Amino acid sequence: MSGVERIAILGANSQIARDYIESSLENNKRKLYLFSRNPMGLQDIVGNKYASRFKCLEYDQFGLDSYDLIINFVGGSDPALISKMGRDIFTLTDHYDYLAIDYLKNNDQCKYIFISSGAAYGDVFSNAPASELTKSNFDFNNLASADYYGAAKYLAEQKHRKLAALNIIDIRIFSYISKRQNLDSKLFLPQTITAIKNKTQFLTSDEEMWRDYLGPEDFFHFLECAINSTRCNDSFDCFSCAPISKLRLLEMLVQEFGLKVLISKSAMKKIDPKKWYYSDDRRAEAIGYQSKYDSLDVIRNMVIAWI
C-alpha cells in the first residue's frame, strides 16, 4: 500500500474530478481536500455522510494542510470551452501545475498526479493510434488554436520530466464518459445520445474513426494503481479493453437504443486529424492496471444512465 491518507484535489468541480471524488468517498477512507473556485458547488456529491472526510476549499487555502498526494484535474475537456479560453489555457495550466510542484519541492515525500490528455501527443493520430514509440508532434512556430490545449499539456509533461527527482505521474486520458457528461457538447457521442433522447435523426458521413472510451470505474482503478505505485517520474496512457469504431458504435446504438441514423456518403466530410484517437501503449500494466470494460461496454452502461 502507498500510505496515502490525505489527498488534495485541484479542479475539484470538473466532471471527471467529481466522478473520482464520488468513487473515492465510497471506496476508501482517505481525507480529501477539495480545491475549486466554487467550493460550495461540491456539496451535492460530498454531503453530510462524509463530512469528517473532506474539506471544500478555495485555492488561497492550498498548503495550509499537509498532503500525501495532489491530483490536478484543472483544464477543460469540452472543445467549446477550450476554444473560448484561447491562449489562456497555457497560463491556467502553468499556474496550478506550479502550485503542486512548489509544494512537492518543500515536501518531497508527496506524490503528484497530473491529469493530462491524449492531445499531448499533438498531430499523430491521422494514420494510427499512439504507441510506446510515439513522439509528440507540435509545430510551435505555427500553432493552431485547436492545438493549444494539447500543447499546454505537453509542455507541462516536459516540465515534469525535467524534475526527475520529484514523484510525478502524468495520466493521459483520451475519451472519457460518465453520467455527468454534458449532453450539450458538440462531441460526437453526446450528439448521438441527444438524438436518442429527442427521437430525432442523427446525420453523419460514412467516414470512419476510432475512439477508446474510459468510464469512471476503470479510471478510478487506474488512479489507484498510480497512487499505490512505487516512487517514479513518468507518464502513462489510459485505455479500455478495446477501442470502438464509429460505425460499430452507431450499429449498437441503433439496435439497442433505437437511434435513428442516416449515414450519407454525400454528408459533409472533414479531415479528422484524430481518426485513430487512442493508444496501444500498455506500460500502465507495469503499475498493475488492467481495464475491466471495453469501449462498447462503457458506452452502453452510460447510455442506459442518460436515457
Check if the beta carbon of residue 175 is closer than 8 Å to that of residue 214.
Answer: yes
**CA distance to 153, 169, 174, 206, 262, per residue, from 254 (Å):** 36, 39, 25, 15, 11
Stretch 211-234: mean pLDDT: 96
Residue in 74, 80, 105 with CA at minimum distance from that of residue 8: 74
The count of other CB atoms within 10 Å of the CB of residue 111 is 22
Stretch 154-169: mean pLDDT: 98
pLDDT in tens, 241-288: 999 999 999 999 999 999 999 988 765 556 567 899 999 999 999 999
Cell numbers at residue 34, please? 477539495
Cell numbers at residue 107, please? 515536501
Could you give the CA distance from residue 280 to residue 250 in angstroms, rounded to a whole number?
23
The count of other CB atoms within 10 Å of the CB of residue 78 is 16
The count of other CB atoms within 10 Å of the CB of residue 13 is 20
Indicate the burial class of 83 (C-beta count within 10 angstroms; 0-12, 13-18, 19 or more): middle
The count of other CB atoms within 10 Å of the CB of residue 291 is 23
pLDDT in tens, 183-205: 887 788 999 999 999 999 999 98
**Sequence-distant (≥ 6) Cβ neighbours of residue 187 within 8 angstroms:** 78, 79
Stretch 16-20: mean pLDDT: 93
Domains and CATH numbers, the chain: 6-180+213-241+278-292 (3.40.50.720)
Lowest-confidence pick of 14-18, 25-29, 87-91? 25-29
DSSP class per residue in 174-189: -EE--TT--TTS-SHH
Percentage of the chain modeled with pLDDT above 70: 94
**Sequence-distant (≥ 6) Cβ neighbours of residue 44 within 8 angstroms:** none
Indicate the burial class of 11 (C-beta count within 10 angstroms; 0-12, 13-18, 19 or more): buried
pTM to 2 decimal places:
0.94
Residue 237: DSSP 8-state: E
| Angle (nearest 5°) at CA 116 between 220 and 250 | 70
List helix spans (H) across 107-166: 148-162
**CA distance to 155, 223, 245, 246, 259, per residue, from 206 (Å):** 36, 36, 11, 9, 16
Check if the beta carbon of residue 152 is closer than 8 Å to that of residue 170.
Answer: no
pLDDT at 1 over 60: no
- Given the C-alpha cell 493510434, which residue does it identify? 129
Which residues, listed in sequence order, are joined to residue 92 by a DSSP beta bridge?
A: none
Stretch 128-145: mean pLDDT: 94
Could you give the CA distance from residue 53 to residue 115 in angstroms, rounded to a whole number?
23
Cell numbers at residue 193, please? 445520445
Higher-pLDDT residue of 143, 181: 143
**Sequence-distant (≥ 6) Cβ neighbours of residue 191 within 8 angstroms:** 185, 202
pLDDT value of residue 7? 97
